[in-house]
Amino acid sequence: MSGAARSEADAAFARLASFTAEIPRLRWFAAVGTTLTPPMVAAAETYVAALGLVPCPVATVGSWHEAAAAAQRPDWSRDWWQAESVCEQALQRQAGARFGLEPLLAALTDVTDAAAGIRDQAAAALACAGLDDEALAKVAAGAAAQACHQQGLALLAGDSAGRAFAAKFTLFAAGRWPLGIVGGTCFVF
Amino acid sequence: MSATAAAPIKSVDALKAAPDDYQLAVRKIVRSHAVNELYGARVYDEPAIALAPTPYLKWLTCRIAMEEYGHHVRFRQLGEQMGIPESEMTPEGRKPLSIFEFPLKTWEEFCVVKLLADLAEIIQVEDLMKCSFLPLRNLAKVTMPEEIFHSQFGKDTCTELVRTEDGRKQVQAAINHYFPMMPAFFGKKDSANNALYRKYGIKQRTNEDMRADFLKRVRDLVEGHLKLKLPEVAEAA
């Protein structure tokens, strides 16, 4: 690896390490169910557009029960999930080509480890709403951990292809839970 | 120094003073759990995310995959403290249990794997919760709530699936496929390894006891609860 490439790799992994350190400090799910602010709506719109999907309305759901129900509706968008998968695979190829698969996977493992504690924050947020639902806490934590993984990939791939995941992560970092596209609407809890 | 259930070994440092065969026995168990937890996460949990039918179940499966991987990490960390080479605690180059040789094809299969294999895992971990090597006992205690959740997930999802005729057929087909591999999970009858584990209080029960317990509990689940058929299998491995 050349000196320039080494320095580029160091900078990218430093960015990722800083992101990883931030994960346990975020107030996960702290703003769920509240009114969506214009910046949150804009982030959701950016997320949808950056995935290359047709623009759609953005709406919120008001409770954990409604969030769980939305995530189980049969009319969820397969195109949305597929677009995320395609984007994720492209970022993994790019990041792997830049830095090698092994260092990439090691760094992403650190991200996943950092995200393991989000389940406790999800359970705490549920408890604030008077709910004790271990499965739903794990569903929310799984969604958040996936977003951490995707944002980690985006940071390492280092180009605009990761814009969708950056926008999605902005929503999580603001204490929301983007539920994806269901019935033609992008729902954010 | 003699290691018995009455004289537990409290730390990895104290393990160094234990008899060689005690150390070897503990190493085998830690290595086996580290390898199999990682195999399970790679072969079943990660591929199941794509097969899950809703975002809710996809995210829940993401979390389960993380937890299974986390179990591997915990066993591997204990193994590293004990001086087990990292290469011996990953599936590469190790012959897998037969169940890991069959790639997952459907969501129903995944639900059945959680129903059957995680119950088998619970029975193994229950035994380790009385282990004379306390770091392993503590690890079993930490792991157990997640194992119980995974097994319950298998029960809940299978219960939901069997409400339809097609779901019943698919769950039954998956049980027919995976269940015959399960008794071998518990090791051979009259196993010399198991005798050593029991001599030192590392494990409490014979392989046959654990297998019989599994068969009883799984029969209650499959025939009693799901109202499906459990295929006949040879009970001894």
DSSP string, chain B: ---BTTB-B-SHHHHTTS-HHHHHHHHHHHHHHHHHHHHHIIIIIHHHHHH-SSHHHHHHHHHHHHHHHHHHHHHHHHHHHTT--GGGGSSTTSPPPGGGGS----HHHHHHHHHHHHHHHHHHHHHHTT-SBHHHHHHHHHHHHHHHHHHHHHHHHHHHHTTSHHHHHHHHHHHHHHGGGSGGGG--TT-HHHHHHHHTTS--S-HHHHHHHHHHHHHIIIIIIS--PPPP--S--
Q: A75, A105, A138: which to substitute to probe chain B, counting the most B Cβ within 10 Å? A: A138
Q: What is the pLDDT of residue B2?
A: 46
- Say if the Cβ atoms of A71 and B149 lie within 8 Å: no
pLDDT, chain A, mean? 95
Nearest residue of B to residue A182, measured between CA atoms: B55
Q: State the pLDDT at residue B235.
A: 60
Both tokens assigned to B111:
């639900």
Q: What is the rounded average pLDDT of the residues A169-174? A: 98
Residues of B in contact with A182 (CB under 8 A): 55
Q: Quick check: A142 pLDDT over 60? A: yes
Q: Are residues B54 and A74, on separate chains, in Cβ contact within 8 Å? A: yes
Q: What is the pLDDT of residue B1?
A: 46
Length of chain A: 189
Q: Please identify every stretch of chain B with a pLDDT value under 70, giving residue numbers as ranges.
A: 1-6, 93, 96, 235-237
Mean pLDDT for A132-151 is 98
ipTM: 0.95
Contacts of B63 in chain A (CB under 8 A): 119, 138-139, 141-142, 145
- Polymer length of chain B: 237
Residue A1: pLDDT band (50, 70, 90) is: low
H-state helical runs in A23-117:
38-50, 64-70, 78-99, 101-115
pLDDT of B233 reads 83
Find the residue in B nearest to A149 (Cα).
Answer: B62
Select the residue of B50, B60, B70 nearest A139 (Cβ to Cβ): B60
Judged by CB atoms closer than 8 Å, whether chains meet at B62 and A143 is answered as yes
User: Which of B59, B64, B70 minimises the CB distance to A143?
Assistant: B59
Residue A146: its chain B contacts at CB < 8 A?
59, 62
Q: pTM of the prediction?
A: 0.94
**Cross-chain residue pair B69–A143, CB shorter than 8 Å:** no
pLDDT score at B6:
54
- The structure tokens listed for A175 are 């204490």
Contact A180 B55 (CB under 8 A): yes
Contacts of A133 in chain B (CB under 8 A): none
Question: pLDDT digit string (tens) for A67-106?
Answer: 999 999 999 999 999 999 999 999 999 999 989 988 999 9
Share of chain A above pLDDT 90, in %: 88
The answer to whether the CB of B72 falls within 8 A of the CB of B44 is: no
Closest-CA residue in chain B for A146? B62
d(CA B88, CA B187) in angstroms, rounded, equals 20
Q: Coil, helix or strand for A186?
A: strand
Q: Which residues of B touch A143 (CB under 8 A)?
A: 55, 59, 62
Nearest CA in chain A to B65: A142
Phi, psi at residue A178, to the nearest 5°?
-70, 125
Chain A residue nearest residue B157, CA to CA: A135
Q: Would you say A9 and A99 are in contact if contact means Cβ atoms under 8 Å apart? A: yes
Q: What are residue A62's phi and psi, to 5 degrees?
A: -95, -15
Q: Tell me, what's the pLDDT at B100?
A: 76
Phi/psi region, residue A99 (left: phi>0; alpha: psi -120 to 50; beta: rest), is: alpha
- Report the pLDDT averaged over residues A107-132: 96
Q: Chain A neighbours among B 152-211 (CB < 8 Å)?
A: 153
Residues 6+ apart with CB under 8 A from B222: B115, B175, B179, B228, B229, B230
Report which residue type is found at B107.
Answer: W
